[in-house]
Amino acid sequence: MTHHVVPIRIYLLVFAALILLTAATVIGSLYDLGGGRLHYANAVVAITIAMTKATLVVLYFMHVRYSNRLIWVFVGAGALWMAILLVLLMADFLTRSWLPIATWGG
């Protein structure tokens, strides 16, 4: 069984992308992207950035990009399960508008 040798340059580029995406998460958290009907826009942006970072980690640092197809099947099954959980999470989150807003002090 042969192993694919990944150049250090690729690891450094992926690392730089992860750092930039982390900075984008921090910068995105400083702004209120919602307003009106889009009160969940910050959550969507944060989850999208997190999924992009997780994909980079899985593909390059866990060497899935160069693995055989059986590994890809299991990664795909995990991604499908994660998508199901995210859909259920967003369905719950979007139906919470009927809850009263808690205020401090009474």
Specify if 51 maps to a domain: yes
Instruction: Note the pTM of the prediction, 2 decimals.
Output: 0.73
Q: Which residues of 44-75 are buried (b: 16+ CB within 10 A; e: fewer)?
A: ebeeebeeebeebeeebeeebeeeeeeeeeeb
Side-chain-side CA neighbours of 64 within 13 Å: the count stands at 15
Residue range 14-44, pLDDT digits in tens: 999 999 999 999 998 898 887 666 667 888 8
Residue range 41-58, pLDDT digits in tens: 888 889 899 999 999 999
Specify if 44 maps to a domain: yes
Specify if 103 maps to a domain: no
Confidence at residue 103, expressed as pLDDT on a 0 to 100 scale: 66
Length of the chain: 106
Q: Which helix (H) or strand (E) holds 62?
A: none
Residue type, 40: Y
Report the percent of the chain where pLDDT is more than 90: 50
Q: Domain span at residue 79?
A: 8-97
